Amino acid sequence: MKPQAAVVPRSRYLVCEGREIHFMDWQPEIAAGPVVVAWHGLARTGRDMDPLAAHLSAQGWRVICPDTIGRGLSQWSPKPETEYCLDFYSRIATALVDQLGLQRFHWVGTSMGGAIGMVCAAGALRGRIERLVLNDIGPKTADAAIARIRSYAGNPAAFDTVGELQQYFRTIYKPYGYLSDAQWTLLTESSTRRLPDGRVTPHYDPAMVQQFTHHPADYELWPTFERIDVPVLCLRGADSDLLLADTAEAMRDRGPRALVVTIAGCGHAPALNVPEQFELVQRFLAGH
């Protein structure tokens, strides 16, 4: 595909399963070209995919980057105990691609976004997802890592200034690996909301962690993984505490027999923001 000029994405909203979902649409005018759905992690937003989406869209791909319900600019759930779970997220994803008229597309998912991709590829979107990229997520997650994430995600910190919030993000997301100062600023500004008392806090519904109490087996996905019948690329942060090395190794031999690549210099999860990671994803999606 011939590289194009830098793409300016459209910020869009659709009602999916009765909930308003926000997404960034990179190259929405493409009618018959390759499409990627890029889905973020647990306590993040679709804007985390900006660097990868900017790269792929400049190469002629359309990239759809949703905010999960309860995150970013998407609606918060009025029924957190039943809707903050992989089943409902996959239903939202299906409604989204249906409304966009996407019949065949690829999926790139970081952490929770990869788990949603697995559920969709083995279920409602089987035969429509052509290739699946799992960014530091597998069919089994380490309990200690889930406990670590719940410790900050369920009780989000609040600060007087955006600068303090950015320093907090730099600390808890240090495992992402290298981010430039501009990328840290984007990460912060695209996931900040102001509280009634004027302080700032991460832009998500704290009730989303109810997934782990009401749906404790949500991330036990080996049976789901083994039903997937499309090519899978798994990117594992070399120091990941969520996707353990033995799980990643087992993914090579079970189900779709994933191609596993270890990303040096990061843990959970690689930020998908540097040329080497762009190239890995792009080559895989292109079938190389």
Predicted confidence (pLDDT) per residue in 164-193, tens digit: 999 999 999 999 999 999 999 999 999 999
Question: What's the total number of domains in the chain?
Answer: 1
Task: Please tell me what DSSP assigns to residue 7.
Answer: P
CB atoms within 10 A of CB 7: 21
Tens-digit pLDDT profile for residues 189-214? 999 999 999 999 999 999 999 999 99
> What residues have CB less than 8 Å from 259, skipping those under 6 apart?
231, 232, 233, 234, 252, 284
CA geometry: angle 118, 120, 122, nearest 5 deg:
70
- Burial pattern 80-116, b for ≥16 Cβ within 10 A else e, equals beebbbbebbbbbbbbbbeebeeeebbbbbbbbbbbb
- Judge whether 2 lies within some domain: no
- Asked if residue 138 lies in contact with residue 247, where contact means CB atoms within 8 angstroms, the answer is yes
Share of the chain above pLDDT 90, in %: 91
Is residue 214 exposed (0-12), middle (13-18) or buried (19+ Cβ within 10 Å)?
A: middle
- Judge whether 1 lies within some domain: no
- Judge whether 68 lies within some domain: yes
- The whole domain housing 240 covers 10-285
pLDDT band at 152 (very low <50, low <70, confident <90, very high): confident
Amino acid at 56: L
- Judge whether 15 lies within some domain: yes
Residue with structure tokens 């011939």?
2
**Cα distance between residue 188 and residue 202, in whole Å:** 8
- Judge whether 5 lies within some domain: no
Tens-digit pLDDT profile for residues 244-261? 999 999 999 999 999 999
Tens-digit pLDDT profile for residues 24-65? 999 988 767 899 999 999 999 999 999 999 999 999 999 999
CATH code of the domain in which 140 resides? 3.40.50.1820
- pTM for this prediction: 0.96
pLDDT of res. 28? 85
